[in-house]
Structure 1
Amino acid sequence: MARSRKSQISLDATSYYHCISRCVRRAFLCGFDPFTQISYEHRRQWVEDRLLWLGEIFAIDICAYAVMTNHVHVVLHINPRQSEQWSVKDVILRWHRLYKGVPLSHRYLNGDCFSPAEEAALATLVEQWRETLTSISRFMAVLNEGIARRANREDQCTGRFWEGRFKSQALLDEKALMACMAYVDLNPIRAKIAETPDTSDHTSIQKRIKSIQENGRQPRELRPFVGHYQQDMPEGLPFPLKDYLELVDWTGRAMREDKPGFIAAEQPSILERIHLSDRQWHRLTRHFEKQFKCFAGQQSSFENIKNCFKLHRMPPNLLAG
């Protein structure tokens, strides 16, 4: 039996999730359609721009993304601590970037005086909005709805654009998180539409590389790499950026089996730290989406958090350990 989206997300278990949305039509979401001889390549930028824009509004960090010809991958991190720090005005301004709001919220921004009952009603409304702005379901709905409406206008048609709701996978541990991010970043290389990570257009790995080359720092739109977990460290991805870039480059070279490019004999040191062999790593980064269903990680990781999802049986295909 299919599980509801709400039952697949638990902050007590993990704050990292892999989401996939697929286009339902024969016509491409992006790219060139040989049947109609029409190019939809410009829609890739639509998706990337809207995705990064939503990352500025929601208390949700974007860890990785790839905009493909008929589907979109994104790895998200729910950040409730960020939303807790927002003032009432912050929440209202963010909400108004998405929706029109209500008379009470506009009056608040105008500095009007409120009665006690109005203040209570506004406080309740703001807390609802604060919670919604940490929702992956709402994040993906706003992303997909905006692209669908714009594509429908361009195609001069109506009807469903996406293949039902998005698919979600909970990333239960560091191994699952890193393998999933690399899987997403390397989608264009695996599909043989890009040669290297830095030429993989409309991916997070390309954005990270360009930002480092041009500005010498990580892009502000993406959740940063902060290195190994330790006390008093800033929030971010628990790997060094240099190690991750090296790992993605090494993996990408191995995926290009039709090319004679050199593949380093020694595996990157980051794999040794998380206790994965190169064979395990390549299997994960080639087949991550098929390898796991709703949950991705080690069996031991799932045992620690299975009560959060109200599950009693072990999901299939979890990693041993």
Structure 2
Amino acid sequence: MNIGILKETQSGEHRIALLPEAAGALVAAGAAVTMEKDAGAKAGFSDASFVQAGVAVRPDAAAVLRAADLVIKVKGPTPAEFDAFLDGQALFCFLTAAKRPELVDFLLRRRITALAFEAVQTEDGRFPLLAPMSTLAGRLAMSIGRDLLRDIDLRRVVILGGGTAGTAAALAAGSAEVDLFEIDTARLRRLRPILPSGVALHPVPSPLLTETVASADLVINTATVPPGSRTHLVDRATVARMRPGRVIVDVSATIGGAVETIHRLTTHEDPVFTVDSVLHYAVPNIPAIAAGDASRALSQALLPYVRTLARHGLPRALERCADLRRALVCRDGEPMNRSAWDTRP
């Protein structure tokens, strides 16, 4: 199998999905690995380090795609990349297909077989490729919030969602008072022994939510609510009651989702907008801030799955590995697991 690694083209996205040592392990196992020039540079990994591992470096994406049976990226391809793909190729990356209708059309029209990093799921319900990115995003969200508050002391934090990102944010809160709201009561019970005793846990819905958010210095949203929802965990009226200079960091980065006032997504170059004197941070790919660490964590988690695909080929790998079957978004352009379409990182 020829595995192609593409350079990321989305704004602010500097991660690479496989590190030189992972690519080298695939080469040692008999795969051919081809990489676009400078694909790892912004994460701190030179072309020379990949060449030393046995990777063939090509000058552009088109040259990589011409040789690739399986294409590996961090984020799904952008419209500018669509034409370079070959009909019937296989793609493995963070797709977030439910948010990108133009990507869905491309996958089906070009008969792509696509697997979503975010939908790879183990038998016991874990998401091994999503989890390390969510952990990093939660930690970074707390750091970003502190920085945006500037001269305001961080005394009270509200975290919406108690999944991997929300838990990581709570653990990074230090001495601040934390209120964490979570809809899954079973998850709340599991969180209690994990989190510090100073973290107050609340079910959703809760009569305390509005008042708690209104008095918070920092709100971190990790909950997934569909874009354009009619109901929100934090509505416009609640944001208007927050004190000037306070901060909302939306890790889920969904327009009109959990936070009504997230009316647009932002970028690493221009990360913040203000509504009612409250700063809103809505960058979709927070882990890219720490591209080296994020790439290392992703590569380590990804390698066993790519090794399985390389060793057995796509059809047999899907037969043998239930984790990969759950991540199958489409096969030869035919929609497959609906749950994989709807899973979001």
Query: What TM-score do you get using the length of structure 1 for normalisation?
Result: 0.24
Query: What TM-score do you get using the length of structure 2 for normalisation?
Result: 0.23
Structure with greater proportional helix content: 1
